[in-house]
Chain A
Amino acid sequence: GQNIDQPTEMTATEGAIVQINCTYQTSGFNGLFWYQQHAGEAPTFLSYNVLDGLEEKGRFSSFLSRSKGYSYLLLKELQMKDSASYLCAAMDSNYQLIWGAGTKLIIKP
């Protein structure tokens, strides 16, 4: 079956670095997405990886290893506004997104 796993909750300190991991199993693979979702709001797009390696975008970076079925989202210089849920989603061979349950990130001062 198709499955996405990511931690339920993580806690980090303002100004620090945090890495949110995601493992996936899908029927075929057409890329891996990360979204940010603040409580009660819509998800917003953060990154897309389809090739192995690291993609950097400001304070946020995303990594993909297709052979390991693994991705992570790296957040640097954490700010209080980064407190949110982070959703990992893999696109299968039919271009359907398989979603993880999300990782709630709590930032402490």
Chain B
Amino acid sequence: DGGITQSPKYLFRKEGQNVTLSCEQNLNHDAMYWYRQDPGQGLRLIYYSQIVNDFQKGDIAEGYSVSREKKESFPLTVTSAQKNPTAFYLCASKPGEDTGELFFGEGSRLTVL
């Protein structure tokens, strides 16, 4: 079955450590997105990519980095520069920038200890 797989589902990190969240899709979608979700707030866009080897900053990119070396994969690194990284992170994809609805992965919950 086609879909989006995020891992890990739960992750604990000590302050000062970088962590990488994995996102893989087999839907053959060109566009991929990373969102952050905090209680009482709408989804906030971190980074997005419309094509391999290209990506753009979203509204809250500071302290995060991404890569898009393969169409299927769009990993997100939460760096030690992110001041408040504890959150629920959602990866999503859709066929193209201007087409179709978003398909979401199951999410990764990051807790900084």
Q: Name A residues whose Cβ lies closer than 8 Å to a Cβ of B.
A: 4, 8, 30, 33, 40-45, 48, 87, 89, 95-102
In the bound complex, residues from chain A placing their C-beta under 8 Å from that of B105 are 42
Question: Which residues of the partner chain B approach A99 to less than 8 Å between Cβ atoms?
Answer: 42-44
Chain A residues with CB below 8 A from B101, complex form = 33, 45, 48
* Least Cβ–Cβ distance between A88 and chain B, in angstroms: 9
- B81-107 interface (Cβ within 8 A of A): 88, 90, 97-98, 101-107
Residues of B bordering A, CB below 8 Å? 40-45, 88, 90, 97-98, 101-107, 109
Instruction: Contact check, A97 vs B102: say whether CB atoms are below 8 A apart.
Output: yes
Interface pair A44/B104, CB less than 8 Å apart:
yes
Contacting residues, chain B, for A87 (C-beta < 8 A): 42-43
The binding surface of chain B is classed by DSSP as: loop
New contact pairs (7) apart from A42-B90, A101-B42, CB-CB < 8 Å: A40-B88, A41-B106, A44-B104, A45-B103, A100-B42, A101-B40, A101-B41
Contacts A/B (CB < 8 Å), 12 sampled: A33-B101, A33-B102, A40-B109, A41-B106, A42-B105, A43-B90, A43-B104, A44-B104, A87-B42, A89-B42, A98-B42, A99-B43
Q: For residue B8, give the distance in angstroms from its CB to the closest CB of chain A.
A: 14
Give CA–CA (A96, B90) in the complex, Å.
16
Complex formed: what's the CA distance from A101 to B44 in Å? 10
